[in-house]
Amino acid sequence: MTPSDASGFTPADESLDDVDLELLDGIREVFQAIDPMPADLPERIRFCLALRGLEVEVARLAAEESQPSLAVRGAELSRTITFDSDSLTIMIRIDPNLDGTARVDGWLAPPERREIEMKTAADSLTVASDEQGRFAFDRVPRGMAQLVVRSAESEQSGAGRSVVTPALIL
Amino acid sequence: MDDRTPVRVRASQPERTERIARLVNAARQGSDAALGEIVTELSPLLWQVARAAGLNVSDAEDVLQTVWMRLLAHLDGIHTSEALTAWLVITTKREAWRVSAAGRRQLPADNEVFSMLPDQGPGSEEQVIVDDQRRILWQAIGQLSPRCQELLRIIAFVPRPDYTALAAELGMPAGSIGPTRGRCLAKLRALLAGDLEGSSQ
């Protein structure tokens, strides 16, 4: 073992010998094998990070449930997902369309008129919520998507942060 | 009996942290490519942190996205690989606790950083580990205390020179977490020595 450095304690790494380092390599390999990160996760994260520059409030997944879709027979499920942020709750229901796209119905709480963007890998769709906070996207291409609830009117002082959700797989 | 893994050439860890530091600086100046590379570099670590905290796969995916999005607002104050790793690991832990608290489980009263139990133990996972030595290692890990399991699981993915900074950020003097790690590794080595004797019969 090497002596302590000038700061008076032995840096933690110096207590590791080659067998320890090899063991840590082995531990890393074992956990990579039994519990690998989903291969597409970094891509989804990079997709979300394309929003940088925007002052955003991050909404977190609060609940998700699935039930058999009434609209389309077969294994397709209708999903209801709730996101919470400090200022807003966003609830969406995703239903499969017959043409292979997805319909997304959403509600904002507290209800208000906001501009709402659905970012997809190809482009983005924009709708507005009504006074009850309801909004709908009729046809969203399958794949990765992310909701951005644009900031409220800029004339309201204090308002101003957009609320974004994590990437969804539609 | 061949009880040693072949010597592997380790990627130079100081080189890795210097590279990450350069990427952090580029990302702070607006490079999306650099930010993307950081995501590639450090997400596997954060995945293990989230899973070791007991999150299921979809919660862990969500937490990682949240953490990276939250980083955007904090990037200006982060200048080194050490600071970045520490911020990401701690924020991932906090987000994981938040999700756990909001969801299925109550948090244990003991809020100690490395006390969360991984819900992993040796089981069917062994089937995916084909290599004998790795299977023996996995079985030995399963006999460690939950605290040691989580600690070693996370440390194994941390760029090594960042470790001391991480310990400090987690509110532990570097001298206290080091010996814990040392004890966990010593215990693992003892278990492996025992297993190897047992397997030679």
pLDDT band, residue B65 (cuts 50/70/90):
very high
A62 DSSP 8-state letter: E
In a domain, A14, yes or no: no
User: Is ipTM beyond 0.85?
Assistant: no
Which H or E element spans position A89?
Answer: strand A89-96
Of B43, B51, B134, the CB nearest to A42: B43
A119-132 burial by CB neighbour count: b if 16+ within 10 A, else e? bbeeeebebebeee
In a domain, A27, yes or no: no
In a domain, A104, yes or no: yes
pLDDT at A103: 94
**Structural domain harbouring A61:** 41-169
B128 DSSP 8-state letter: G
Of A9, A15, A23, the CB nearest to B188: A23
CA–CA distance, B38 with A49 (Å, rounded to integer): 12
pLDDT at B12: 52
pLDDT at A60: 87
pLDDT at B82: 87
Is pLDDT of A150 > 80?
yes
Please, what is the average pLDDT of chain A? Answer: 82
Domain boundaries, chain B: 13-106+124-199
Q: What tokens appear for A68 in the block?
A: 């058999």
Is pLDDT of A120 > 70?
yes
Is pLDDT of A37 > 90?
yes
Q: Are A117 and A147 in contact (CB under 8 A)?
A: yes
Overall average pLDDT of the A9-13 stretch? 43
Q: Do B35 and A52 touch (CB under 8 A)?
A: yes
DSSP string, A95-125: EE-TTS-EEEEEEEES----EEEEEESS-EE
**Model confidence, pTM:** 0.75
Collect all residues of chain B within an 8 Å Cβ-Cβ radius of residue A38: 57, 61
Q: Do A9 and B188 touch (CB under 8 A)?
A: no
Is pLDDT of B116 > 50?
no
Encode pLDDT of B134-186 as tens digits. 888 998 999 998 888 988 898 899 877 677 666 666 655 555 666 677 788 88
Q: What tokens appear for B174 in the block?
A: 């570097």
The count of domains in chain A is 1
In this complex, is the C-beta atom of B24 within 8 Å of any C-beta atom belonging to chain A? no
Is pLDDT of A4 > 60?
no
pLDDT band, residue A117 (cuts 50/70/90):
very high
pLDDT at A35: 93
Is pLDDT of B31 > 80?
yes
In this complex, is the C-beta atom of B12 within 8 Å of any C-beta atom belonging to chain A? no
Is pLDDT of A157 > 50?
no
Collect all residues of chain B within an 8 Å Cβ-Cβ radius of residue A21: 10
Which of A65-69, A122-126, B157-161 reaches the highest mean pLDDT?
A122-126
Indicate left, alpha or beta for A133 from its phi (over 0: left) and psi (-120 to 50: alpha).
left
Overall average pLDDT of the B37-59 stretch? 94
* Sign of the torsion angle spanned by Cα atoms A28, A29, A35, A40: positive
> How far lies B37's CA from each of B19, B87, B123, B199, in Å?
10, 17, 34, 43
Is pLDDT of B10 > 90?
no
Overall average pLDDT of the B53-67 stretch? 92
Residue of chain A whose Cα is closest to the Cα of B134: A30
pLDDT at B103: 66
